Structure 1
Amino acid sequence: MTTTVTTAASPSAASASAVRFDAVTKSYGDVRAVDGLSLDLRPGETVALLGPNGAGKSSTLDLLLGLRRPDSGTVSVFGTGPREAITAGRVGAMLQSGGLMDDVSVRELVSLACALHPRPYRVNDVLAHAGVTQIADRKVNRLSGGQEQRVRFALATAGANDLIVLDEPTTGMDVSARKAFWATMREQADQGRAVLFATHYLEEADAIADRVLVLHRGRLLADGTAAEIKARAGARKVSFDLQELTGPGGDLTAALRGLPHVSALDVSGRTVRLQSTDADATVHALYALGVYPRNLEVAGLGLEQAFVAITEAEEAKAA
């Protein structure tokens, strides 16, 4: 193996969509896993795919990778079908499980991936970028869960792909490994490659993604930057401490829950945390209860809280 590709994605790749879903549906029996999904991903973007269990994330990735065919609508990858793009070496994928042979060394497995790729990198470079050089001679069946994930990452980046698809990529990795992993992914995006990842670590999506897609019951609920998703939730966090959870009228819990514009309440010891769609009005009414809140803070929702708010609102509409 002597061929090395270190350049960014080609200009033709950068001038068109990396991935396009056009009114795609996919059902399994009576379950509609993907429901009229339309989206457009561009080269150079790092995109997080979020959604609760059963939202359709895995089915969407299966369609993107040509593992399933849509019932209706079209999926294109760089203007061709998914399987054609994969055969051309334009797509690298890191799935949650599978893809590893037990009775071979890490080096042998990565060497095979490089040998099969139309535009391979050098084996030693792949091992180094994935952080598996020190375990290169270890048998795959003797790896920890986090080490297996890094090997899957090496297989996904064995050549100069224009799109990298990652399904829960950092599961089992420790903090330092996760940090190094995402630094490498940012390098890939900076070189013009599209990176799409599904994750349950919403702090990763908040910190890493240029764009966040929220799926729910196979439909696209939200599409924007993490900041835009947070703003769309339309609520703010209000937190404070109370000396006592009693006031002139007795127990304050019911009164706190009844404050105007409060959508969620959590009381832990003397600390009260709530969400409000009009924080100014809520705080004004709080003082009217005749209590004195200490350490009062008002802030925007984090991505995880915004995600929960958006999906819960959708569930309420469907009820």
Structure 2
Amino acid sequence: MPANALDIDGLTVRHGDVLAVDGLDLRIGRGETVALLGPNGAGKSTTVGAVLGLLHPAAGTVRVLGRAPADAVRAGCVGAMLQHGGLPGEARVGEVLHLVRGAYADPWPLADLVATTGTTGLLGRDVDALSGGQRQRVLLALALAGQPPLLLLDEPTSAMDVEGRRAFWTTMRDLAARGTTVVFATHHLEEADAVADRVVVLAGGRLVADGPAAQVRSAVAGRTIRLPSGRLPEPLPGVTGATRQGATVELATTDVEATLRALLAGGVPLTDLEVRGASLEDAVLSLTTTGGPR
């Protein structure tokens, strides 16, 4: 059995004159939960499309569990929720699930499938009457109907409220615990930070960072000190910028200890002071605007 769920070597994809993915090399091991991050046009959805065999690369290879993408999909090895996925109209949820499960030799048992995806109460509902979040849960159930070892998600929580997103990621953690490899593209970076074992950052179709979220965050130097707005002593060592937001001020500093000592010596009350490192959002923004390491 292949060691990796996904092997991508030198993947290059063009959309007309646009180079969407530029020589991408990526390995994803079985059972990993991996977030694909980057701005619009970074190549995330194109990469997902190539893994599903929906796009023909100009160069490079993609192997899914040791198979060509189309072969892996036909064998039921891959489940997918695409950003613009649709459902057939004039049908009930239970009918659609029955149809899709019937395409697999060993479908996920219905009772467990609907319990896992939170669709138990939706089986008798007309597809056209579903809310955005309910449609996403049904699409997840369809993606999992064949018990695929690899699940690809493209902006899976875009139509969900906060409660729905929390429930969705609880389901993803349960799937990962069962050994499912989960690869998802998202703009919700707090989700990636909380859920992913590893984040892969793309910019301009190229890989600019790959590793645990903490490692990617560490690529951004400095810290931020947040405190109630008021008169500040000058100069403040290490401070590279200050931003006032209502009743608070944020100080960007390259030497947090020196800045804190100066604030204390200047008589600034340290009540409600907060010190934090770079967020994943800060890191991704920095990496994708500067180009980052190749």
Q: What TM-score, normalized by structure 1, do the two folds share?
A: 0.84
Match of residue 292 from structure 1: 268
Distance 1:269 1:179, change over 3 A: closer
SS of match in other structure, 1:41 = strand
In the alignment, the residues of structure 1 paired with residue 21 and residue 204 of structure 2 have an alpha-carbon distance, to the nearest angstrom, of 7
Counterpart-to-counterpart distance in 1, 2:58 and 2:261: 53
Aligned to 2:78: 91
> Counterparts in 2 of 1:49-64, with a 5 A limit?
49-64=36-51
Report the AA paired with residue 281 of structure 2. E
Percent identity of equivalent pairs: 48
In structure 2, relative to structure 1, the CA distance for the partners of 1:27 and 1:276 (3 Å cut) is: farther
Q: Partner of 1:222 in structure 2?
A: 209
Q: How does 1:156-305 map to 2 (within 5 A)?
A: 156-244=143-231, 260=238, 262=240, 265-283=242-260, 292=268, 294-295=270-271, 296-305=273-282
Offset of 1:244 from its aligned partner? 3.4
Could you tell me whether the CA contact under 8 Å between 1:244 and 1:270 is conserved in 2?
Answer: no
> Residues 282 and 220 from structure 1, CA distance in 2 versus in 1: closer, same or farther, beyond 3 angstroms?
farther
Task: Give the CA deviation at 1:273.
Answer: 1.2
In structure 1, distance between residues paired with 2:189 and 2:139 = 21
Q: How many pairs does the alignment contain?
A: 292
Query: 2 CA distance for matches of 1:243 and 1:308?
Result: 29
Q: Is the 8 A contact 1:126 1:154 kept in 2?
A: yes
Maintained 8 Å contact 1:88/1:118:
no
8 A Cα contact 1:36 1:219, kept in partner = yes
Worse-matched range after superposition: 102-111 or 232-241: 232-241
Distance verdict in 2 for CA 1:115–1:29, change over 3 Å = same
- Residue 283 of structure 2 corresponds to 306
Which structure 2 residues correspond to residues 18-29 of structure 1 after superposition, within 5 A?
18-29=5-16
Change in Cα spacing, 1:274 to 1:71, as seen in structure 2 (3 Å) is farther
**Residue segments in structure 2 that go unaligned for 5+ positions in a row:** none
